[in-house]
Amino acid sequence: MTARNGRGIFITLEGGDGAGKSTQAELLTTWLRGAGRTVLRTREPGGTDLGQELRDIVLHRRGHIAPRAEALLYAADRAHHISTLVRPALDRGEIVLQDRYLDSSVAYQGAGRVLDPTEVRDLSLWAAEGLLPDLTVLLDLDEGAARDRLDASRTQYDRLEAEANEFHARVRSAFLGLARDEPDRFLTLDAGRPIDDIQHDIRSRVSELIG
């Protein structure tokens, strides 16, 4: 892990589509700002102008994208995003709260697209100059329940959301495996619980982190 000059804190939220990451991120951001903390809320892909262009390609382009090309596009977004937005905020001492990071690449492109997860992770770490989060909140939800949530909230799916349940089952399994391998970094929560209960657990862990 590359050392940081500032005292910022890097928090990421992970999980399958429909797990509730955006809702929890919004609640946590409001709480942290209310406590006087400076928070940069961002996402991958799409946290920068270049990232938004890459997001449109990887999520909304019609037609096939080769799995390795997809992984490289995500890595390109990550390299630019970390270099130009995330690391400067951390060096200023801010809290960065990010929707998805390298664990999503390992889960979606590694397990989902059946690429080598270690190679995908190494690519992501190279792109991000070794930066790992201080805390990763994994919102775990059965792929069937996640699909029901998506069906109830939208009429169109992006390229990854539209994949079959078998794809999303592999993604979920990969996320859980990552959490087991790095228990000190991950906080794994049942995303089927009430929203306020989940937020309570997240705030408790974040409170320990920020002291």
pTM of the model: 0.92
More confident residue, 174 or 152: 174
pLDDT of residue 2: 45
> Rg of the chain over CA atoms, in angstroms?
16
DSSP H or E stretch at residue 99: strand 95-99
pLDDT at 4 over 60: no
Domain ranges of the chain: 9-210
Yes or no: domain 9-210 corresponds to CATH 3.40.1010.10: no
- Residue 76's Cβ-count burial label (10 Å; 0-12, 13-18, 19+) is middle
More confident residue, 143 or 192: 192
Least confident of 65-74, 76-85, 163-172: 163-172
> Residue 55 is encoded by which pair of tokens?
């997001």
